[in-house]
């Protein structure tokens, strides 16, 4: 079990996470959804120990979660300048014994011997994903992994996430597009104004869109029809 216990986090005077609490089952894929500014990335930053909370803690198997427990794919990926894709990957330890770069790159088709500046946005995202999955960790976090990916790589990423679940890994994933989350997640958690307000299990995934966007769709339709 991963237990998020009363996490608070503020930036300047703005409270981003507000007494956040939630238990997450292990070996499952958890989708985190919420509007912009709901606190998804801040939650992931704290979950991965990239950031400290103002108060509260996160326990993994009843021990304080450590950076070594987590592989984290950030929303925006930063690569050191003038190094090749292959060199970037070599910086990260190869602890996932199943990982075979050549085979997986036949699928992703990255020019690994070229410097990363020559890569497109989607290629950079693929490279960052490779750097994550070459590491064997019990917890994987993917923050907006589908941004900038082509359709084929979207499918490949969904397969990668499903494969992580079969290897009993716990996966957290956020996306602004619901369809890939519905396809890969076991549970989806709605984050609103820094608090988890609702959890959806597979059986009621179909309600998400309706519940989330019903009011918004009504008012948006009115506004757009009258002003655009």
Task: Please state the closest distance from residue 15 (CB atom) to another protein, in A.
Answer: 21
Of 81, 97, 219, 226, the one binding another protein (CB under 8 A) is 81
Q: ∠ CA 159-160-163 to the nearest 5 degrees?
A: 85
Stretch that binds another protein, among 23-31, 47-55, 146-154, 220-228 (CB under 8 A): 47-55
For 10-41, b/e burial (b = at least 16 CB within 10 A) is eeeeeebbeebebebeeebbbbbbbeeebbbb
Based on the shown chain and the rule CB under 8 A, indicate whether residue 36 belongs to the binding site for another protein: no
Binding mask 93-122 for another protein (x = CB under 8 A): x-------------------xxx-xx----
CB closer to another protein out of 90 and 186: 90
Total residues binding another protein (CB under 8 A): 29
Stretch that binds another protein, among 77-85, 94-102, 148-156, 171-179 (CB under 8 A): 77-85
Query: CA nearest 74: which of 48, 94, 52, 53?
Result: 48
User: Which phi and psi angles does 200 have, rounded to 5°?
Assistant: -115, 130
Task: Retrieve residue 199's tokens.
Answer: 């959890």
Based on the shown chain and the rule CB under 8 A, indicate whether residue 11 belongs to the binding site for another protein: no
CB closer to another protein out of 132 and 149: 132
| Residue whose entry in the numeric block shows the structure tokens 């990423």 | 157
Binding mask 184-213 for another protein (x = CB under 8 A): ------------------------------
Task: Please state the closest distance from residue 109 (CB atom) to another protein, in A.
Answer: 17
158-165 own/partner pairs: CB under 8 Å, 24+ apart: 158/183, 158/184, 160/129, 160/133, 161/29, 162/29, 164/29, 164/133, 164/140, 165/27, 165/28, 165/29
CB-neighbour burial class of residue 154 (10 A; exposed 0-12, middle 13-18, buried 19+): middle
Based on the shown chain and the rule CB under 8 A, indicate whether residue 5 belongs to the binding site for another protein: no
Based on the shown chain and the rule CB under 8 A, indicate whether residue 64 belongs to the binding site for another protein: yes
Q: Site residues (CB under 8 A) for another protein?
A: 49-50, 52, 64, 66-67, 72, 74, 77-84, 86-88, 90-93, 113-115, 117-118, 131
């Amino acid at each position: 079990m991963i237990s998020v216990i009363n996490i608070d986090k503020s930036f300047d005077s703005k409270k981003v996470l507000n007494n956040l609490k939630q238990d997450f089952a292990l070996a499952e894929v958890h989708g985190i959804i919420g509007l912009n500014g709901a606190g998804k990335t801040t939650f992931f930053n704290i979950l991965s120990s990239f950031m400290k909370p103002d108060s509260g803690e996160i326990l993994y198997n009843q021990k304080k979660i450590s950076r070594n427990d987590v592989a984290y794919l950030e929303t925006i990926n930063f690569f050191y300048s003038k190094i090749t894709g292959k060199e970037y990957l070599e910086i990260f330890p190869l602890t996932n014994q199943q990982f075979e770069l050549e085979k997986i790159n036949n699928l992703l088709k990255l020019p690994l011997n070229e410097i990363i500046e020559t890569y497109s946005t989607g290629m950079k995202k693929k490279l960052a994903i490779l750097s994550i999955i070459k590491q064997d960790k019990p917890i994987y976090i993917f923050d907006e992994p589908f941004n900038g990916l082509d359709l084929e790589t979207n499918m490949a990423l969904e397969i990668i996430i499903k494969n992580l679940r079969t290897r009993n890994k716990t996966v957290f994933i956020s996306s602004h597009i619901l369809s890939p989350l519905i396809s890969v997640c076991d549970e989806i958690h709605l984050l609103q104004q820094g608090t988890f307000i609702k959890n959806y299990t597979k059986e009621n995934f179909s309600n998400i869109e309706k519940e989330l966007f019903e009011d918004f769709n009504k008012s948006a339709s009115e506004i757009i029809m009258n002003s655009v």
